[in-house]
Amino acid sequence: MKKLWLTATLVAALSACSTVPPAAPSVAGTLKKPELDRIAAAPATQAATAASGNFSQFLALSAQMQPALAPAVKAYENKATLQGDDLVNISRLLGLYNRLKNQAAVIDTTARMVALPTVRSDKIPPHEDPSIIAFGALVEGMAKDFGLQFRNVDNRVFEVKLPGSGTQEFGILTHADVVPVVADEWVLDDGTRLDPFKLTRVGGNLYGRGSIDDKGSIAAVLYAMKAVKDSGLPLARTIRLMIETTEETGGDAMKYYRTKTALPEYNIVLDSKYPAVVAEKGSGALRATFVLGAATGAGGPPAIVAMAGAASANAVPQTATARLRGGSAQAIAAQLNAAKGAFVAKYAAQGGKFNIDVALDGADVLVKVTGASAHGSRPEEGVNPLPRLALFLQQSGVTLAVNGYSQAVKYLADLYGVDYLGRTMGLAYSDDFMGPLTMSPNLVREKDGKVDVLVNVRMPRGSTPEALSQATTTRVKAWGAQAGIAVEVDHTQGNWMARDPKGAWLATLLNTFGDTTGLEAKPVPTAGSTTAKLMPNAINFGPAMPGKKYTAHNAKEFKEVADMDADMQMFTEMLVRIGNLAQMQ
């Protein structure tokens, strides 16, 4: 009965001249964005996919709108081997079909994944964390439902495979873990408070930790694999999806996985940006540590007794706070309030807008600077409130008791201020392709009687980890000696990566992106650092779109629904085309 109803629906759609546009001029070669948009917008197409129609029905509608597609559609229906433009067009239409049919399912899956707080804990290893284990169970259930193969590698990496006919595999790499959140920062401009671990749609945005980094990509590629399997299109190569669980904290799960399993020779990573990333900066952590010291005495100057910035070192914070205790709270608050207007006016022109709030909290004074959060690799997209807080405290005229926090404030103000390019440190340099060195002080914490300041360092080609670490250590030590401040310095620096993956697989990714989006398609670098560095022949393909702020690691992280649609469409096409290349290079 259901089959008869579907057939009637299709006949009605095909015969209704008001819903099927007249045939367009023949497509020369492969479908491009205008033709794809026209097919997607047709009421008959939308009705067919919404009414549980199948891919063959969708192809029939598409061929009616684009008659030049008829031979390719006929070849697919006859299970003939598809090559050249026919393979491109059928895979491209499968991507469009997947997007139209499964958008709601991908959003729902992303929501289920976001609801699992897969943040690394310092109390339990990730592979024993209930959220990671639950994430693996969720993926396993989907894989079985989709008819895909699943393997759990000791809760470090979750594998999903779609077998091909040959012996070769190509890898797809994503990650399930996310960075921590500062829940109070998840408030929209209209005052709406968001739960970071509940996917919330507001207009065209999907808010939630992991929505863009990287859970949305996992949901999209799983449905792409399902679409390819359900279509019956043959693959020459097996597709191996690998979901890592420690990418945000060093990738030790992938290192473990490499000891257990041979990696595919070619890999596509879904953890950066489009069109195709062939170079990454090296990510590093520069830590300066100060002895906390005793609290302020009665009648002495006020002391900073607490400070906070980002929840993780690889995120530019949305807010930074300092708690002052001692002296006359009312007088200190008045002095700070008197100073903040001129300070904001002076520094807003140097990097962007921010604001300062000074409030009494019992006998304490709480100072809060609100800027704009960003990914730690892209400090230019944010306004870092932590060094601005330090500058304000230093320039406000309030005399502070000497302790580890006041020394951290001086360090932040003297060596960073509003600069994140290493200029104040005397270390600035840039690579023509990869861009500049960046040094973003994001996190301050009290631990074991000491105060740490952590700086996220992104190193492009032009230096080595050893040389840069030595230079930063020497510079900070020299500052400490000059200031009369004892400072411990530790700089752990990862290396940059630059690859030259010429050949068919890179050309295929670029063609897929360019024709789907209508945007320029060329290899690009990224300031981000992913586990692509741990993989042979790895290229990042999405999910961030060019020209848009990357909201990963941000307060109020979100994924645009339109961009998720594009991911679904391009991932599907990519799987079919890469899976059938005669040669990768």
Span 446-463, pLDDT tens digits: 999 999 999 999 999 999
Answer whether 491's CB lies under 8 Å from 284's CB.
Answer: yes
For 189-242, the pLDDT digits (tens) are: 999 999 999 999 999 999 999 999 999 999 999 999 999 999 999 999 999 999
What's the CA angle centered on 491, arms 489 and 493, to 5 degrees? 175
Secondary structure (DSSP) of 509-554: HHHHHHHHH-S---EEEES---GGGGSTTEEE--EEPTTS---TTS
Q: What 8-state DSSP symbol labels residue 327?
A: S
- CATH architecture of the region 283-493: 2-Layer Sandwich (3.30)
Domain ranges of the chain: 2-80, 103-281+503-578, 283-493
Q: Residue holding tokens 């979100």?
A: 558
- CATH architecture of the region 103-281+503-578: 3-Layer(aba) Sandwich (3.40)
Close Cβ partners of 84 (under 8 Å, ≥ 6 residues apart)? none
Query: What is the pTM (predicted TM-score) of this model?
Result: 0.91
The pLDDT of residue 435 is 97
Q: Give the C-alpha separation, 421 to 418, whole Å.
A: 9
The pLDDT of residue 295 is 64
Close Cβ partners of 129 (under 8 Å, ≥ 6 residues apart)? 118, 120, 121
Tokens encoding 397: 């005229």
The pLDDT of residue 28 is 55
Report, in this order, helix, strand and coil percent for the chain, each rounded to 5: 40, 25, 35
How far is the CA of 180 from the CAs of 120, 310, 351, in angstroms? Answer: 8, 9, 25
Answer whether 268's CB lies under 8 Å from 171's CB.
Answer: yes
Helical pair 130-146 and 215-231, crossing angle rounded to 10 deg: 20
Q: Give the C-alpha separation, 311 to 317, whole Å.
A: 8
Answer whether 442's CB lies under 8 Å from 313's CB.
Answer: yes
Tell me which H or E stretch contains 272.
Answer: strand 272-273
The pLDDT of residue 203 is 96
Q: Do domains 103-281+503-578 and 283-493 have the same CATH topology?
A: no
Averaged pLDDT, groups of 10, the chain, 585 residues long: 38 42 59 95 81 87 94 96 96 97 97 98 96 98 98 98 96 97 94 97 98 97 98 97 96 95 96 96 97 74 96 95 96 97 94 96 96 96 98 96 97 97 97 97 97 98 98 98 98 94 91 97 94 91 95 96 98 98 90
SS (H, E, C) 107-119: HHHHHHHHCCCCE
For 178-198, the pLDDT digits (tens) are: 999 999 999 999 999 999 999
The pLDDT of residue 99 is 96
The pLDDT of residue 297 is 52
Residue count of the chain, please give it. 585
The pLDDT of residue 549 is 92
How far is the CA of 229 from the CAs of 83, 100, 432, in angstroms? Answer: 18, 17, 43
Close Cβ partners of 566 (under 8 Å, ≥ 6 residues apart)? 99, 516, 517, 545
Answer whether 198's CB lies under 8 Å from 139's CB.
Answer: no
Q: Give the C-alpha separation, 239 to 168, whole Å.
A: 9
